Amino acid sequence: MADLDTTALLGALEPVAEENLDRHLKAAQDWMPHEYVPWSLGRDFKELGGEPWSVEQSQLSPIARTALEVNLLTEDNLPSYHREIERAFGRDSAWGEWVNRWTAEEGRHAFCIRDYLLVTRGVDPDELEQARMDTMQTGYDSGDKPLLNVCAYVSFQELATRVSHRNTGRYTDEPIAEKMLTRVAKDENLHMIFYRNIVQAALELTPSQTMRAITDEVVDFQMPGAIIPGFGRKAVQMAMAGIYDLRIHHDDIVQPLLRQWGVWELEGLDAEGEAARDRLSDAVGALDAEATRFVEKREERAAKLAARQNA
């Protein structure tokens, strides 16, 4: 079967978008970002006669602060993501309605995390602002990624941010931060379900074309926050802490979605679709092996550290 162009795909999948927008609106609970912020802890900074920021004012561990900052800067870049999603889905029909609803929901994520970090002094506010400016000026740009690739990517990405928020919350060991990030993670999960269901319908509509899109996005996957200044170093810290690492990426993001879509049992693929599935299988196998090596190294390092402390 020949590939469907964007107009044909948007038309054929529009009823699925509408059905899933309705389902989403019924499932989504309204929540207030200000209710997750301990305002009583807030106080003026230096310019208003208060105390300047310094690191010991925060109750959080350095890695918890880094993870919260990475998650916040990722969420801060929403205007770029809005541009990407709007370019792919357009402004009409259920697609356009979803774009606006999704953007409005995403907006809350940065608001509550920023407010939380500022009142608890969990982040250097000057450094945070500089990093936000850098991140947003770099912007997020996937090029002219085709519609099905966008849908596959955001399915993985929403699930990845869900897990990253949830694990960051646990790692803070601070009940308010944990409650806030659990709330944010619930939103990401509902977003993931919307995009996952679109991909599911696309697999039925145009299986080989969709399989190629899924394969491309697994092979090339990068977190949306990859453009944050110092992301590589910060991502390593988060991986070492078990907040987001290759094992989690393989076990909790990639495999569950591929299983849910039934890609391994999918019938009706043409030669290109079969080749894409083979490439996907190789990529997932390589990711699994790399994850195993990473966890082994991390354990070796932890054992060495423990031995040194006991010596």
User: How many DSSP H helices and E strands does the chain contain?
Assistant: 12, 0
Q: How far apart are CA 283 and CA 249, in angstroms?
A: 13
Stretch of residues binding Fe ion (CB under 5 A), selected from 27-35, 143-151, 153-161, 297-305: 153-161
Residue 221: CB partners within 8 Å, gap ≥ 6? 153, 156, 249, 254
Tell which one of 24, 132, 191, 234 touches Fe ion (CB under 5 A). 191
Q: Is 106 in the site for Fe ion (CB under 5 A)?
A: yes
Stretch of residues binding Fe ion (CB under 5 A), selected from 37-45, 98-106, 254-262, 270-278: 98-106
Q: Is 165 in the site for Fe ion (CB under 5 A)?
A: no
Size of the residue set binding Fe ion (CB under 5 A): 6
Residue nearer to Fe ion on the CB measure, 166 or 191:
191
Residues 164, 71 contacting (CB under 8 angstroms): yes
DSSP letters for 12-38: HHHHHHHHHHHHHHHHPPP--GGGGS-
Residue 309: CB minimum distance to Fe ion, A:
38
Q: Is 84 in the site for Fe ion (CB under 5 A)?
A: no
Residue 178: CB minimum distance to Fe ion, A:
17
Q: Is 76 in the site for Fe ion (CB under 5 A)?
A: no
Q: How far apart are CA 31 and CA 87, in angstroms?
A: 28
Residues 188, 162 contacting (CB under 8 angstroms): yes
Residue nearer to Fe ion on the CB measure, 191 or 234:
191
Q: Is 109 in the site for Fe ion (CB under 5 A)?
A: yes
Note the residues at the interface with Fe ion (CB under 5 A): 75, 106, 109, 158, 188, 191
